[in-house]
A and B are shown apart, each in its own frame.
Chain A
Amino acid sequence: MTELDNPRPRTWSWHSPILRVVVSADRNGASLRYDVRLVGELDLASVGSLTDALEALRDERPELVVIDLSEMRFVDARGLSALVDIDRDLRAVGGSLVLARPDPHVRRVLTLTAVDTQIDVR
């Protein structure tokens, strides 16, 4: 059975002690979209879970990746760099990244580091 025969989203998740990454890949015709939920804290210790969870991204080249930040309580510089790298990789292949619903603290960090001028934050 191919992807096209099965329209249900595929989901997978990665865990570290302080971060859960849940990815849902939804193919609609020729276009592929990733919805990612980050639950917990994205820092130098947990950033590997995010990069591991999105490893398939390089091969599958989704058009749109939406990362829901509403349950992410903390992000550090290393975590931000991972998000910037994902954005860069996606742009290189014509895709785009959206950071959705950051809480006020995370939004402030995105502003402080000007990451919100590089990545689409909604």
Chain B
Amino acid sequence: MVRRRVRRWLEGHGWPEDPIDDVVLAVHEAVANVVDHAYPPGARGEVAISASLLPDGPHRRRAHVVVKDRGRWRPPPADPGYRGRGLQMVRGCMDVVDIRPGTDGRHGTKLTMLSAAVGTTPAGAGRHPRLRRLHHDLLDGVHRAQQRTRILACAARRLLGTVHRLTGWGLGPGAAPLRRENGTHHVQYVQYVRTL
């Protein structure tokens, strides 16, 4: 599941629990929104998640998460059903939310989120004690590159794991192969979730 991975990622950076809950929920809803609405029923779909930490002053950071699909954006209905609530939750949990529907059939929706700025505790500043002495921007750069790669791989693996658990289709958790395209991991799973 995406949200366990996001949680562990932020915990590793010493984020307090409540702000973690917010980011986890927002990312979950953004991905759930793709699963439900970006692709027509029965279609094969893809979702790409990338996440990074951005410094905001010397002691604070923001989580920056982008969720992209290649489907067709459909505006939420006037009656706020679960989709309306999902977007309410994304907006309520993050400081900045930007939704850009694709301009042609080939490019899907890009949802960009920026969390509230959070002061991280020194103990959680990193898993590499020696690097802590370096300038915080360099540390951020190192972590950003590492985490971006890790979160993509794990998110894709967990999504396939969920599909496997729900439908029996495909491979179990941890065994999912990843398809790499232009440096981004994609995973084909939407079709199977939709058939539930």
Contact of A77 among B89, B162, B165, B193 (CB under 8 A): B89
Chain B window 14-41, contacts with chain A (Cβ cutoff 8 Å), 1 for yes, 0 for no: 0000100100110011001001100000
CB distance from A28 to the nearest CB of B (A): 34
A14 at the interface (CB under 8 A from B): no
Contacts of B85 in A (CB 8 A): 77, 80-81, 113, 115
Q: State the main secondary structure of chain A at its contact with B.
A: helix
Chain A window 57-91, contacts with chain B (Cβ cutoff 8 Å), 1 for yes, 0 for no: 00000000000000000101110110000000000
Bound together, the chains give a CA A81 to CA B89 distance in angstroms of: 13
Contact of B29 among A17, A48, A76 (CB under 8 A): A76
CB distance from A99 to the nearest CB of B (A): 15
A56 at the interface (CB under 8 A from B): no
A15 at the interface (CB under 8 A from B): no
Using C-beta atoms within 8 Å of the partner chain, give the interface range for chain B: 20 to 34
* CB interface residues, A 70-122, toward B, < 8 Å: 74, 76-78, 80-81, 104-105, 109, 112-113, 115
Q: State the main secondary structure of chain B at its contact with A.
A: helix
Q: Given A81-B82, A109-B25, are A76 and B88 also a contact pair (CB < 8 Å)? A: no
* CB interface residues, B 125-173, toward A, < 8 Å: 162, 165-166
Bound together, the chains give a CA A112 to CA B84 distance in angstroms of: 12
Which of A77, A104, A112, A113 is most buried by chain B, counting CB atoms within 10 A of its CB?
A77
Contacts of A113 in B (CB 8 A): 85, 88-89, 92
Lowest 9 CB-CB distances: which A-B pairs, in order?
Answer: A77-B86, A81-B82, A112-B92, A77-B85, A77-B82, A113-B85, A105-B21, A78-B82, A113-B88
Query: B residues touching A (Cβ–Cβ < 8 Å)?
Result: 3, 18, 21, 24-25, 28-29, 32, 35-36, 81-83, 85-86, 88-89, 92-93, 162, 165-166, 193, 196
Query: A residues touching B (Cβ–Cβ < 8 Å)?
Result: 17, 43-45, 48, 74, 76-78, 80-81, 104-105, 109, 112-113, 115
